Amino acid sequence: MYRRPSPDKLPAGARPDFFYKDVHMAAPAQIIAALLQPVFAELAEGADPMLRPSSRSGFDFQVNGSIALAKKLGRRPDEVATLVSSGVALKEVCESIEVTPQGFVNLRLDDAFLAACVSELAGDSRLGVEIAATPLTVVVDYSAPNVAKEMHAGHLRTTVIGDSLCRLLEHFGHRVIRENHVGDWGTQFGMLIEYLLDVGETEGAHELSVGDLDGFYRQARAAFDASPEVQERARRRVVALQSGDAETLRLWGVLVEESVGYFEEVYAKLGIGLTRDDIVGESFYNPMLGDVVAELDAKGLLVESDGAKCVFVDGWTTREGDPLPLIVQKSDGGYGYATTDLATLWDRFGRIGADLAVYVVGAPQAQHLAMCFAVAAKAGWLPSPEQAVHVAFGSVLGADRKMFKSRAGATFKLVDLLDEAVQRAGEAVSARSLELNDSERASVARMVGIGAVKYADLSTDRLRDYVFDLDRMVSFDGNTGPYLQYARVRCLSIFRKAGLDPADYLGGGVPIQVGHPAERDLAVALTGFPAAASAALESWSPHKLCAYIYELAGFYTTFFENCPVLKAPNEESKNSRLALCALSATVIGQGLSLLGIESPERM
């Protein structure tokens, strides 16, 4: 076994954020970086080896930092490159070390060392991902549909991204508190309750329970807009709701209950772990709003402006160039969503004692949230600014690159999109998988269809707007969910054909060989899993994990094409290749799982 640097030798301060670098020592890149780091640090304060994967054929990694270091020292780059690469035990883990005239150091891993790393990975059920040294309590705010309003494609993004981030956080050992900030309070409930009464409680509840939320809302809105009398009733109803009138609260509860039941159906369809226990809606914070405002007042932060109670924060202006306030209490005495969002910070840091509060909310809310964070910081509720995170995401667009809507201008219901994806996946699966029975086929279709939609959403940089294209999502070619699920199935099918159990090859007891270039590339790729998962979490970007899995699947395909497994030249090679297949399936499956995507065993 190779002697490894102890974890406390890892570069301190490499991660100034809250996720201390917990990368397993089975990762060759981390081992080499740890070997080089002290050498660089000795030559110049804070010098970084800048170890990166190499795209040059025959090499696995390259050291870029030697050039910058040479500049700093005023010496020739190739000289410094030679210096940093000769003094350390790189030879122990690299079979080839090349210094280029420009000052790069190219490294090729020693086969035995690489094989040892992969064996260790195969023997580790966590695949090299270590539990965080300091587990954090993280509140993740995501999904947040509105009562009596349909869930559409926009909710898909926050829900799917938030779910994946929760899974990643938990996998790294952090304590995650999911908060589904449902829109279940506010002035619109006067209108909704009055409509519920007009249409009849039973009928209204029925409409909601069968999922016709948009129909309910639209008609309520239409009735409200059309009649001053309804508007007056709605206004009085809001007052009754705010003052805790029992009957009004009961009616409100009917709306909430029917909607929540519907949300649960959608989450079940999506395979999202959110339950009604995770709902911490706007109504939950309502009782706190007075205290929030009072505390801001006590701290001298409140300014009255045009009758509204405001907090002014430097850096924002109105259209006219005047200072822009965060309005915490409207001139009519009511509270807006700014106050509620302040209350979430107040509660999450004050009562829950969160280390991090994550808001998976669309990019248009950036300014609003930044202002809320700034006010919370001013009020002393936010221990430090970087502990509140806005994980923003772009809009969902249609094929025409406009906001994703039907020709008639209506938004698509999320459930309809999901159903169509499952149906198309079912057609694709039926066309090929003759050995599946009906119930297996339905189950696979669900995993593939839902996985396709989720993967499409997760696989692009979340800040960009993305084009919702069902055809591309459910395609088995390209960077798609179905392709990756299929890649994993192909890994596993070898075992089924041979009557073997992949688990027998995962204990780490099967010696790995990396003789063929395709075996090597696959092996190196496999060891990159912990770093990929870590990178995805660090930047709140699941797409980095997607990119890794897709790349890994590519290496597996090349391996599969070039290296016969069951017909390997000898028994040792066959077992090694079976182990690589089993490990590939496991890494792909684990990766998809962290994205919230299920993996069928057959398809």
Partner RNA sequence: GCCCUCGUAGCUCAGGGGAUAGAGCACCGGCCUCCGGAGCCGGUGGCGGAGGUUCGAAUCCUCCCGGGGGCACCA
Look up residue 418 and give its two tokens: 């999901």
CB atoms within 10 A of CB 23: 21
Look up residue 104 and give its two tokens: 């790069």
Subset of residues 312 to 351 that bind RNA, contact rule: CB under 7 A: 316-319, 321-322, 324-325, 327, 330-332, 334-337, 340
138 or 580: CB nearest RNA: 580
71 or 299: CB nearest RNA: 71
User: What is the C-alpha separation between 549 and 554, in angstroms, rounded?
Assistant: 9
52 or 175: CB nearest RNA: 52
Question: Quick check: 145 binds RNA (CB under 7 A)?
Answer: no
102 or 227: CB nearest RNA: 102
What is the nearest approach in angstroms of RNA to the Cβ of residue 329?
A: 7
Partners of residue 99 on adjacent β-strands: 105
# residues contacting RNA (CB under 7 A): 97
CB atoms within 10 A of CB 85: 22
- Part of the chain binding RNA (CB under 7 A), chosen from 10-18, 169-177, 249-257, 357-365: 357-365
- Part of the chain binding RNA (CB under 7 A), chosen from 180-188, 194-202, 412-420, 583-591: 180-188
Pick from 396, 449, 441: nearest CA to 418: 449
Listed in sequence order, the residues at least 6 apart from 566 whose beta carbon sits closer than 8 Å to its beta carbon are: 494, 497, 498, 574
345 or 603: CB nearest RNA: 603
Q: Do residues 360 and 391 touch, judged by C-beta distance below 8 A?
A: yes
- Part of the chain binding RNA (CB under 7 A), chosen from 4-12, 129-137, 259-267, 551-559: 551-559
137 or 305: CB nearest RNA: 305
Query: Which member of 142, 284, 486, 555 binds RNA (CB under 7 A)?
Result: 486
Q: What does the angle CA 131 – CA 137 – CA 143 come to, to the nearest 5 degrees?
A: 105
**Alpha-helical regions (H) of 45-127:** 65-73, 77-86, 90-93, 111-122
User: What is the C-alpha separation between 572 and 323, in angstroms, rounded?
Assistant: 73
Q: Do residues 444 and 600 touch, judged by C-beta distance below 8 A?
A: yes
Question: Quick check: 363 binds RNA (CB under 7 A)?
Answer: yes
Listed in sequence order, the residues at least 6 apart from 35 whose beta carbon sits closer than 8 Å to its beta carbon are: 5, 88, 89, 90, 93
Q: What does the angle CA 465 – CA 471 – CA 472 come to, to the nearest 5 degrees?
A: 55
254 or 324: CB nearest RNA: 324
Query: Which member of 58, 87, 478, 507 binds RNA (CB under 7 A)?
Result: 478
User: What is the C-alpha separation between 128 and 591, in angstroms, rounded?
Assistant: 12
146 or 387: CB nearest RNA: 146
* CA-based radius of gyration for the chain: 28
Question: Quick check: 104 binds RNA (CB under 7 A)?
Answer: yes
What is the nearest approach in angstroms of RNA to the Cβ of residue 206?
A: 26
What is the nearest approach in angstroms of RNA to the Cβ of residue 203?
A: 26
Question: Quick check: 398 binds RNA (CB under 7 A)?
Answer: no
User: What is the C-alpha separation between 523 and 563, in angstroms, rounded?
Assistant: 13
269 or 472: CB nearest RNA: 472
Question: Quick check: 221 binds RNA (CB under 7 A)?
Answer: no
Does the CA dihedral 552-558-561-562 come out positive or negative?
A: negative
Subset of residues 500 to 529 that bind RNA, contact rule: CB under 7 A: none
Subset of residues 17 to 76 that bind RNA, contact rule: CB under 7 A: 50, 52, 54-56, 59, 62, 64-65, 67-68, 71
CA dihedral 237, 238, 244, 246 (to 10 degrees): 30
Query: Which member of 86, 96, 102, 134 binds RNA (CB under 7 A)?
Result: 102
User: Edge-to-edge strands of the sheet including 303-305?
Assistant: 303-305, 308-317, 323-329
Listed in sequence order, the residues at least 6 apart from 133 whose beta carbon sits closer than 8 Å to its beta carbon are: 20, 22
Question: Quick check: 411 binds RNA (CB under 7 A)?
Answer: no
Residue window 438-477: x/- pattern of binding to RNA, with contact defined by CB under 7 A: ---------------------xxx-xxxxx-x--x--xxx
273 or 398: CB nearest RNA: 398
34 or 343: CB nearest RNA: 343
User: Edge-to-edge strands of the sheet including 137-141?
Assistant: 175-179, 137-141, 356-360, 388-391
What is the nearest approach in angstroms of RNA to the Cβ of residue 124?
A: 25
Phi, psi of 432 (to 5 degrees): -120, -35
134 or 317: CB nearest RNA: 317
What is the nearest approach in angstroms of RNA to the Cβ of residue 33?
A: 15
Query: Which member of 401, 408, 409, 499 binds RNA (CB under 7 A)?
Result: 401
Residue window 289-318: x/- pattern of binding to RNA, with contact defined by CB under 7 A: ----------------xxxx-x-----xxx
What is the nearest approach in angstroms of RNA to the Cβ of residue 216?
A: 17
